[in-house]
Amino acid sequence: MLSSKIGGIGFYVPEKVVTNHDLAKVMDTSDEWIQERTGIVERRYAERHKETTSTMGAAAAKIAIERAGITAKDVDFIIFATLSPDYYFPGSGVLLQRQMGMNGIGALDIRNQCSGFVYGLSIADQFVKSGMYKNVLLVGAEFHSCGLDFSTRGRNVTVIFGDGAGAVVIQPTEEEGKGILSTHLHADGDGAEKLAYMNPGSHAGVHVGTEKYGYPEQEFGGMFFTPKMFEDEDFFPNMEGQAVFKFAVQKFPEVIMEALESNGYKPSDLDLFVPHQANLRISQFVQARMGIPDDKVWNNIQKYGNTTAASIPIALCEAWEAGKVKEGDLVCLAAFGSGFTWGSALIRW
């Protein structure tokens, strides 16, 4: 039976390095606090007025396409995962398509935040396995630094996130037992507001908590923004960090075990575990809980922070470049984030 595999992988991170000390100059935080709670030392910020989410995605895509042994003209479908797109609409997929001269093929944007890459991988896998497409370009890219609150009020969120992009080309393989073995996707909308960027949006007082924005009564027409949102500067992401942390450390192990068990494996069979880079303490907790040794886990949050949909492809690409992903290796990817959404993928490389 036809399976799909990662045929090429690439990543791009902007040049600008922003350290914890740099952030401590603009808000009440410290290198010590950030490192102790998250493991992050520095992150990258995209160059304003020059780079966007889609340009970073295209930079990563070019490398993935070349490594897949194809050209941009051979790509037959684009999946773009991001929570920080160039525009509210249209999606960043069509902008990447325009930059890369791949006009005419389908371009799908998905909004699954930190789980975006795993969700995208699952979609690409189905398209390729069914024989519909042969070269699906899956990109995860984020330009967080243009939408964060750099005052002390936003410090719990702002210190965590960084910018960057990762990309893979998903291709068919007929090699028995190779490629993407399975993907597992989950969501729980009860946690929707615990990690969210709600404005602008159509919520207009419908969801609990959104009444506070004071929508004017009018027969027709709505308002994405209200004056109160501007007065309160309520257009930044908010996060109940501890609630997110607790849910993550419960769901990560569950979804990893789901991937392993549905293929008849146990944690000790893994050659590499690449967790979404949310917080080094979460990764370490999960690793310890599952008894996975240090040399079988790839973490790079120390250098890049949390790059949301880009974090898994960036980490996987770095691991691959470092020779940690070899032919025949069993690799598990797992992600968790806003929604809540979570998921995993098991790959025989």
Q: Residues 49-68: x/- map of binding to ligand UT7 (CB under 6 A)?
A: --------------------
Cβ proximity to ligand UT7, 39 vs 57, nearer residue: 39
Size of the site for ligand UT7 (CB under 6 A): 20
Maximum distance among all Cα pairs of the chain, rounded to whole angstroms: 62
Q: Residues 102-131: x/- map of binding to ligand UT7 (CB under 6 A)?
A: ------------x-----------------
Rounded to whole angstroms, how far apart are CA atoms 100 and 107? 12
Cβ proximity to ligand UT7, 77 vs 273, nearer residue: 273
Rounded to whole angstroms, how far apart are CA atoms 344 and 172? 20
What's the min distance (Å) between Cβ of 281 and ligand UT7?
A: 7
38 binds ligand UT7 (CB under 6 A): yes
Our answer to whether residue 144 is catalytic in this structure is no
Cβ proximity to ligand UT7, 106 vs 154, nearer residue: 154
Our answer to whether residue 276 is catalytic in this structure is yes
Our answer to whether residue 146 is catalytic in this structure is no
Cβ proximity to ligand UT7, 107 vs 185, nearer residue: 185
**Residue span binding ligand UT7 (CB under 6 A) among the ranges 10-18, 30-38, 85-93, 291-299:** 30-38
Report the interface residues with ligand UT7, using CB under 6 A: 29, 33-34, 37-38, 114, 155-156, 159, 195, 241-242, 244-245, 248, 278-279, 282, 306, 337
